[in-house]
Amino acid sequence: MPYSKELPLAKAKIDRCRSIARGIGDEVAQVVETHSTVGTERGVLRLLGFNDALTREDLMYPVANLIVDQLAESGRLARGVLFWVASALLTRKYSLEELITAVSEGLVDFSQIEPGEEKAVYRLAEKLARDAHTRMMQIRQNRRKKFGKLKDPADEKRPLKYVIVATGNIFEDVLQAKAAVLDGADIIAVIRSTAQSLLDYVPHGHTTQGFGGTYSTQANFRLMREALDELSLESGRYVRLTNYCSGLCMSEIAALAAIEGLDCLLNDAMYGILFRDINMRRTLIDQHFSRLICSKAGIWIMTGEDNYMKTTDAKTSGDQVLASQFINERAAINAGMPSNQMAIGHAMEMDPSYDQVILMEIARAQMTRQIFPQSPLKYMCNTKYKTGDIFTSHAIDTIFNLLGGLTGQGVILLGMPTEAVHTPWLADRSMALRSANYVVGGSRGLADEVGYRSDGFIAKFAGKVLDDAVKLLERIRPIGLMKAIEKGTFAGVKRTQDGGKGGSGVFPVKRGEYLNPFFKLMGSRIGV
């Protein structure tokens, strides 16, 4: 029986999945075209430079929140925040910098701003958006100039080795990140403080007391970015930085990440809907604007399908993962994002006690690689079946490293031997990196030496996952994505269309009245 370097996946079935996903994308587009959110409007302000905070009752109140709150409470937000910023500049005779300062000092109340002459407002709003867009692109170009001569691991030795730091203290995170880079890490991910995704604002300044992770703030982004840039220049190889861009502040986080030069963001509306009970309309709208920003800033998005397998049996939930991957791909395409920035997520999460489990994991990983050939796939280690037995954990992670290299994953999120015991110490991370360095480096080229039988177990298992994904998408097609989520189609989790956190932050807009030039500037395929 002949062997091939690729699995015999039916192209017609893959094409059918993408066709259905395109229709699902049209459903989401209708929501984006007719609504905005307080988070999206705050993202606009962040791009313009409204990134300071006032002190109120000993708490930091972000200026972006202040402006949007004033407009929402006065019933003015439906025209878009940029309409009122442009009006303030025209009627109050401020420069943009003067307006930012005045708001930061509490001297301007946007509920009292008089609307400017409409044509003049639209012209100025277009200019403000173009200037902000130009600044963002200049940041990207400047980083290319500064680091373009360094070795980029993404160009020569994928999969990239991705490790997390999660002390809660950004200054301690920097020390742990530096140690990880010296041990060979290619991507540093600063885990976000537990439940920050449910905060409807972005904390301000450096933070030292996160729980289970460190708060995502502009100051924290900058501190870690500076540290990794310094190490990149010293080592001669570029080190990527990742943070989290899900939850109620997706657009703001994306804007701040673009400004501070981050490389990757965990960005997935489905994750927020299913696992954080965030209102589905709110987060689907925010996801679109955040992905527009990521697309233009050159930021890889990382999707969260690995989480589906933590609440279901990973052996039987492969169809949910694959269906969601097609939907996520379409959402990124609608935001004008190229495939090489779509780090589609999946994981090695099957029960290790299953017979032939390694073959099943190879099938799913190789299938995903072939279906999304240009994507820097993000492959997640096993966490669900870690028990505190550090020796078995290390063995599972070693196999994970081998499969990540064999199937050509773009990124492997390294497992830690103490996964189920505590937040990893320096020694745990070092052990994980040394294992990955050995296994990934030592097996480089293995895929060119072996092949798959067209009638073998691996090919048949992958074919079944694809068949099941087609059937699942066919069931979703007539009812739509949001109804499918209500029925618990993904991860066994049910959410209602009108429920969840942040639903009150969604508001209707009218074509011709709502003003957001960023959609067109950033290449949106919807909402323009």
| CATH number of the CATH domain containing 96 | 1.10.8.1000
Catalytic residue among 201, 271, 379, 514: 271
The span from the CA of 417 to the CA of 434, in Å, is: 12
Catalytic residue among 378, 379, 386, 501: 378
Pairing state between β 59-62 and 53-56? antiparallel
The span from the CA of 248 to the CA of 444, in Å, is: 41
Average pLDDT for 461-468: 98
Sign for the pseudo-dihedral over CA of 328, 331, 335, 338: positive
Q: Would you call 378 a catalytic residue per the annotation?
A: yes
For residue 347, is it within any domain?
yes
How much is the pLDDT for 528? 67
Residues 166 and 97 in one domain: no
Catalytic residue among 186, 286, 306, 428: 306
Q: Is residue 527 pLDDT above 80, yes or no?
A: no
| pLDDT digit string, tens, across residues 148-195 | 999 999 887 789 999 999 999 999 999 999 999 999 999 999 999 999
How much is the pLDDT for 359? 98
Q: Would you call 271 a catalytic residue per the annotation?
A: yes
- The boundaries of the domain holding residue 292 are 157-463
Which one, of 262, 51, 252, lies nearest residue 143 by Cα?
A: 262
Among candidate residues 463, 489, 515, the one where a domain is terminated: 463
How many domains in the chain? 2
| pLDDT digit string, tens, across residues 265-297 | 999 999 999 999 999 999 999 999 999 999 999
Least confident of 56-65, 173-182, 333-342: 56-65
How much is the pLDDT for 1? 63
Residues 169 and 120 in one domain: no
| pLDDT digit string, tens, across residues 375-428 | 999 999 999 999 989 999 999 999 999 999 999 999 999 999 998 888 888 899
| pLDDT digit string, tens, across residues 92-103 | 999 999 999 999
Average pLDDT for 492-513: 95
| CATH number of the CATH domain containing 280 | 3.20.20.440
For residue 480, is it within any domain?
no
Contact 117, 90 (CB under 8 A): yes
How much is the pLDDT for 519? 96
For residue 488, is it within any domain?
no
For residue 139, is it within any domain?
no
Q: What are the strands, taking DSSP E only, across 286-439?
A: 300-302, 342-343, 345-347, 378-380, 411-413
pTM for the whole thing? Answer: 0.96
Average pLDDT for 350-355: 96
Q: Would you call 514 a catalytic residue per the annotation?
A: no
Considering the chain, what percentage of its residues have pLDDT values greater than 70? 99
